[in-house]
């Protein structure tokens, strides 16, 4: 769909815009994660453009959209030459979400000063779950054997067996990604997992933000707590890193281990850090934590196939602010070595 606005023009013969899905396997671009667009024109002298999730601009007029458009900066002349060529100019928007409608705006002017607004809408497709990820789909029963409690006087580990159910489904945005419903005891929470295409391992990923609470002015985030060597001390990190790693053998038997990495202090001293606990916390802009439970499941878990529905308690927002708890830190770029602050 292409429409025209401004100066009363509903159609022009000097500019066209097409927004569409396509495949470029070598670049990892598919109808589920990208949209291509092609401009063709004659005598086009300027162009500004922007891509928006259609739902986010519902009811917005051009005066609200225009300030959010961009140009090509130093590359403008080269782009305009492409637009005005016989082949036109073709570019791509990457890292989009599957099964999502997007609207593209382009405001162009020509050599006689006429201005035209092209508006195109296109919906990305659902990603086809990869073969490696498909074996993890469905209902599973997990059993934890340890607990962790965060208190003013420190961190307390305990032994307690608890069985709960989760449901794993494919993520429309990535063929190797899955959504895990029920892993947290908080109802309605969904954890994000990635499947390693080489090993087939399922990694539950930390660092995802799933919402914002105006009352506490805090983001709901999946965070992982790491124990630092044998110091008995630990620290939360907010990076997009694995927490739990589940492996499946040829017979379908699943084993679980916690993510382990090497860290270095500022003086270069190396230490091993081990993920112990992964759940949802409230995190303010300043890095202060809010806790939504008194006791959390932690440590490696057993995992077997199940037919049961996910089990989770209602999400109670009566958070407890733990002043004594260290603020959330970032490890920066994830490599084989991470750095402790």
User: What is the mean predicted confidence (pLDDT) over 154-160?
Assistant: 89
Q: Which of 23-27, 32-36, 127-131, 314-318 has the highest mean pLDDT?
A: 32-36
pTM: 0.64
pLDDT at 263: 78
DSSP strand E in 128-205: where? 138-151, 154-171, 174-181, 190-195, 202-205
pLDDT tens figures, 51-95: 999 999 999 999 999 999 999 999 999 999 999 999 999 999 988
Q: What Rg value do the Cα atoms of the chain yield, rounded?
A: 25
The share of the chain scoring above pLDDT 90, in percent, equals 50
Lowest mean pLDDT among 11-15, 57-61, 77-81, 263-267: 263-267
Q: Write the CA distances from 70 to 46, 48, 67, 92, 148, integer angstroms.
A: 11, 5, 8, 15, 48
Token pair for 251: 């017979």
pLDDT at 318: 40
Buried residues in 237-253 as b, exposed as e (16+ CB within 10 A): bbbebbbbbbebeeeee
Q: Which of 88-97, 145-154, 312-321 has the highest mean pLDDT?
A: 88-97
Lowest mean pLDDT among 183-187, 271-275, 299-303: 183-187
Strand partners, 139: 167
Confidence band, pLDDT 50/70/90 cuts, at residue 16: very high
Q: How far apart are CA 216 and CA 319, in angstroms?
A: 9
How many CA atoms lie less than 13 Å away from 117 in the CB half-sphere? 15
Residue 311: is its pLDDT beyond 90? no
Nearest to 106 by CA among 91, 123, 96: 91
- 310 or 281: whose pLDDT is higher? 281
The total of other beta-carbon atoms located within 10 Å of residue 146's CB is 18
User: What is the mean predicted confidence (pLDDT) over 256-266?
Assistant: 86
Average pLDDT, the chain: 84
**What secondary structure letter does DSSP report for 183?**
S
Q: How far apart are CA 164 and CA 313, in angstroms?
A: 11
- 206 or 267: whose pLDDT is higher? 206
- 285 or 338: whose pLDDT is higher? 285
Token pair for 190: 């969904």
Residue 146: is its pLDDT beyond 50? yes
pLDDT at 32: 84
Coil/strand/helix, residue 67: helix
The answer for residues whose C-beta is within 8 angstroms of residue 242's C-beta and 6 or more apart is 194, 203, 204, 205, 206, 259, 275
The answer for residues whose C-beta is within 8 angstroms of residue 251's C-beta and 6 or more apart is none
Lowest mean pLDDT among 215-224, 293-302, 304-313: 304-313
Residue 35: is its pLDDT beyond 70? yes
């Amino acid at each position: 769909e292409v429409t025209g606005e401004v100066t009363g023009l509903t159609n022009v013969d000097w500019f066209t815009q097409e927004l569409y899905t396509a495949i470029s396997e070598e670049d990892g671009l598919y109808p589920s994660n990208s949209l291509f667009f092609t401009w063709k024109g004659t005598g086009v002298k300027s162009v500004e453009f922007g891509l928006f999730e259609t739902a986010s601009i519902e009811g917005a007029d051009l005066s609200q959209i225009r300030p959010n458009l961009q140009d090509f900066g130093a590359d403008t002349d080269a782009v305009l030459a492409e637009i005005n060529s016989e082949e036109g100019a073709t570019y791509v928007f990457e890292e989009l979400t599957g099964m999502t409608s997007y609207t593209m705006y382009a405001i162009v002017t020509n050599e006689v000063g006429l201005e035209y607004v092209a508006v195109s809408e296109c919906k990305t497709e659902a990603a086809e779950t990869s073969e490696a990820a498909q074996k993890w789909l469905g209902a599973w029963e997990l059993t934890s054997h340890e607990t962790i409690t965060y208190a003013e006087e420190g961190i307390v580990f305990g032994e307690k067996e608890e069985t709960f159910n989760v449901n794993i489904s494919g993520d429309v945005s990535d063929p190797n990604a899955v959504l895990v419903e029920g892993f947290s005891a908080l109802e309605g929470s969904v954890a994000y997992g990635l499947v390693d295409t080489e090993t087939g391992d399922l990694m539950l990923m930390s660092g995802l933000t799933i919402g914002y609470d105006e009352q506490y002015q805090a983001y709901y985030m999946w965070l992982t707590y790491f124990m630092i060597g044998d110091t008995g001390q630990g620290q939360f990190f907010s990076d997009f890193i694995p927490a739990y790693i589940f492996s499946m053998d040829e017979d379908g038997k699943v084993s679980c281990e916690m993510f382990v990495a090497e860290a270095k202090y500022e003086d270069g001293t190396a230490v091993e850090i081990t993920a112990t606990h992964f759940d949802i916390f409230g995190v303010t802009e300043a890095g202060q934590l809010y806790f939504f439970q008194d006791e959390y499941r932690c440590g490696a878990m057993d995992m077997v196939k199940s037919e049961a529905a996910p089990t989770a308690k209602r999400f109670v927002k009566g958070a407890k602010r733990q002043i004594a708890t260290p603020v959330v830190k970032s490890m920066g770029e994830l490599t084989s070595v991470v750095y402790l602050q």
